[in-house]
Amino acid sequence: MTKLTYIALGSNLGNQEVNLRLAAAELQKISTSPLVASSIWWSTPEGFDEDVAVFCNAVVSLEVEIAADALLVRLKKIEQKLGRARSEGGPYLSRTIDLDIIDYDSRVLKTKVLELPHPRAVSRRFVLLPLQEVSPGYHFPGVEHDLDTLIQMAPENPMQKSISLSPLG
């Protein structure tokens, strides 16, 4: 049975737009339906201890036939394939690609390795604005407010909408 899933993509190293397109192509391989992709958005980095390059962000929706934890493993493999370096428990690092499960089949879940919906997505404009493009009527499970309200409540982040994300392949 397929599960509708939303994935946030981000990059601030190398050719960021190409990185997002390559990741989208990898995501298409695990999807049972064509990806629905937002535009690419440029945003100011959040959560870093030092100045880093601006981010390129997007959101895609896809349908998968694998469990949420298996999807997370697949996302980490895609990140690794595309050159992602990780620092477990340390400060945020710049990255060639970052893939986060925002929602998996409208489930609410909290384990040691995965929390759904993504706990910080509701307050990040760089997730909310592309998500609104992909699914304007989307509503986070277990969250009172709709997307428009969440966008208004989110901290300011100067963002610029760019071209549409389409997978390279």
Higher pLDDT, 149 or 86: 149
Q: What mean pLDDT do residues 141-166 have?
A: 93
Cβ-based burial of 38 (10 A; exposed 0-12, middle 13-18, buried ≥19)? buried
Min mean pLDDT across 2-6, 91-95, 110-114, 126-130 is at 91-95
Contact between residue 32 and residue 63 where contact means Cβ atoms under 8 Å apart: yes
Is residue 10 one of the residues assigned to a domain? Answer: yes
Domain total of the chain:
1
- Determine the Cα angle at 140 with ends 135 and 144, to 5°: 125
| Band (150; pLDDT cuts 50, 70, 90) | very high
Higher pLDDT, 131 or 1: 131
The helix/strand/coil state of 118 is coil
| Band (91; pLDDT cuts 50, 70, 90) | low
Mean of the per-residue pLDDT values of the chain: 92
The helix/strand/coil state of 124 is coil
pLDDT at 92: 67
Tokens 């945020």, located at residue:
92
pTM exceeds 0.95, yes or no: no
CATH number at residue 64: 3.30.70.560
Is residue 169 one of the residues assigned to a domain? Answer: no
| Band (115; pLDDT cuts 50, 70, 90) | very high
Is residue 111 one of the residues assigned to a domain? Answer: yes
97: containing domain: 3-164
Over residues 31-49, the pLDDT tens digits come to 999 999 999 999 988 877 7
Beta bridge partners of 99: 9
Is residue 94 one of the residues assigned to a domain? Answer: yes
pLDDT at 151: 96
On the question of a cis peptide bond just before residue 34, with omega within 30 degrees of 0, the verdict is no
pLDDT at 5: 98
Tokens 């959560």, located at residue:
47
pLDDT at 95: 85
pLDDT at 94: 78
